[in-house]
C-alpha cells in the first residue's frame, strides 16, 4: 500500500485578518439590530402611553374641522341634542 504524506493546513495572517473582520462585522450588525429593536420598543411604549392618555378622544382627519371645533369650544358654542 502506498503512503501519502499527511495533509497540513497553514493559517496565514490574511486568514486571521479576514476572520477578525468578519467577526467585527457580525458584532456591528448585532449592535445595530439591538439599537433598532430598542428604538422600536421605545416608540411602541410611547404610542401606548399616548393612546392611554387619549382614551375617548377622536382626532379629526380634516384640519378645517379641528379648527372649527376648537373655535366653537373657545367661544362656548355646543352642539344641540337631537
3-state secondary structure 33-82: HHHHHHHHHHHHHHHHHHHHHCCCCCCCCCHHHHHHHHHHHHHCCCCCCC
Q: What is the pLDDT of residue 30?
A: 95
- Which of 20 and 63 is assigned the larger pLDDT? 20
Q: Residue 58 corresponds to which cell in the numbers above?
A: 377622536
- DSSP letter (8 states) at residue 79: P
Cα 63 to Cα 18: distance, rounded to the nearest angstrom:
57
Per-residue model confidence as pLDDT tens digits over 25-54? 999 999 999 999 999 998 888 887 776 665
Answer whether 0.95 is exceeded by the pTM.
Answer: no
- Which of 14 and 49 is assigned the larger pLDDT? 14
Instruction: Give residue 81's pLDDT band: very low, low, confident or very high (50, 70, 90).
Output: low
Amino acid at each position: 500500500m502506498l503512503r501519502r504524506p499527511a495533509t497540513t493546513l497553514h493559517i496565514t495572517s490574511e486568514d486571521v485578518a479576514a476572520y477578525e473582520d468578519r467577526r467585527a462585522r457580525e458584532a456591528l450588525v448585532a449592535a445595530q439590530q439591538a439599537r433598532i429593536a430598542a428604538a422600536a420598543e421605545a416608540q411602541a411604549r410611547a404610542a401606548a402611553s399616548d393612546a392611554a392618555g387619549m382614551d375617548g378622544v377622536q382626532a379629526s382627519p380634516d384640519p378645517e374641522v379641528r379648527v372649527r371645533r376648537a373655535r366653537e369650544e373657545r367661544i362656548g358654542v355646543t352642539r344641540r341634542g337631537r
